[in-house]
Amino acid sequence: MDQSNVRPSGMERIIDYALAEKFINAQVLAIREQVGDGKVLLALSGGVDSSVVAALLIKAIGRQLVCVHVNHGLLRKGEPEQVIKVFRDEMDANLIYVDATDRFLGLLAGVADPERKRHIIGEEFIKVFAEEAAKLEGIHFLAQGTIYPDILESEKGIKAHHNVGGLPPELDFELVEPVKLLYKDEVRVVGKALGLPDGMVYRQPFPGPGLGVRCTGAITRERLEAVRESDAILREEFARNGLEGSVWQFFTIVPDYKSTGIKDGKRSFEWPVVIRAVNTRDAMSATVPDIPFPLLQHITERIVSEVAGVNRVLYDLTPKPTGTIEWE
């Protein structure tokens, strides 16, 4: 293994602000030394890792960092807006926002197979990013939010993580990976110390293909909106009822299936929304938390009255195994 990818045995675990500050100051110097007055490109998804790398680089080199936020149309409600607010408005980042929704949804139209969907989303993401990179001049560095578990898992061949070697070879950049020796909890402490909002630092995991794997089968705009709106209601209610920090991951799924119901005194034939909530340590296995029944009833009332095209709500009681966390 490349020795720069090995966490030194004596390396202190970053558990508090003082240690985070020490790490940040050392990285700021290291980044400045590595890139000089060069420009650095970063794909900023708004997830914890890329957000922390962005904040760290902004502190070190300001507008020499060019962030590209690609909206593939499969993000949660309010996410692209939050990225723009935090980075462009509050941190004065050099941020390029690309709304590629039509491109992605066009390619995904009629595609029902989950693996094909994932493949299309992953490939197109790289294409959009590479196109943006090609428009810019004089960029020699690429920053990535690689963290230590990504390196360990890639070494063991567990997963071909998108952060490690996922870019096409024609993008000939030198990598800047300031958090590659940190564990996730350390990245969060550093993010807090850099002033990122809690909503970003303590964000629950969100898959790269986003809501695309929660709008099962062939994605349509209407059903995707039902996923996005029901997810927003679930997140709002979990936050309001103190479950945000105690449930590991929670979201909604809208299957490509309709059932009969009654709305406004008339027969309706609409989709169900499935609520998924899980607790886990490492996502290899998971249990289903006991959500208070009155809260589930309240969420159900809100979803069927506020989300267009939905007449039923279900709670997925399945642990992993046998069910995976995501439905696709």
Which residues bind to ligand XMP, rule: CB under 6 A?
118, 205, 207-209, 249, 283, 320, 324-326
What does the block give as tokens for 184? Answer: 């996730």
Q: Return the number of the residue (102 or 115) whose C-beta is nearest ligand XMP.
A: 115
Return all residues near 193 (Cβ < 8 A) that are at least 6 apart: 17, 20, 21, 24
Q: How far is the CB of 145 from ligand XMP (least distance, A)?
A: 12
Closest approach, Cβ 8 to ligand XMP, in A, equals 28
Of 221, 222, 238, give the one whose Cα is nearest residue 275: 238
Question: Least Å distance between CB 207 and ligand XMP?
Answer: 3
Question: Among residues 38 and 323, whose Cβ is nearest to ligand XMP?
Answer: 323
Amino acid residing at 246: S
Nearer to ligand XMP, 20 or 224 (CB): 224
Report the nearest approach of ligand XMP to the CB of residue 173 (Å): 22
Closer to ligand XMP at the Cβ: 181 or 325? 325
Tokens encoding 46: 């708004």
Give the nearest distance from C-beta 163 to ligand XMP in angstroms. 10
**Residue with smaller CB distance to ligand XMP, 125 or 271:** 125
Residue (117 or 223) nearer to ligand XMP, CB: 117
Token code pair at residue 248: 């590991």
> In angstroms, what is the minimal distance from the CB of 210 to ligand XMP?
9
User: CB of 263: closest distance to ligand XMP in angstroms?
Assistant: 32
In the complex, the smallest distance separating the C-beta of residue 247 from ligand XMP, rounded to whole angstroms, is 12
Looking at the Cβ atoms of 208 and 261, the one nearer to ligand XMP is 208
Tokens (6 digits) for 234 = 């679930």
Residue showing tokens 């289903």: 288
Residue with smaller CB distance to ligand XMP, 78 or 205: 205
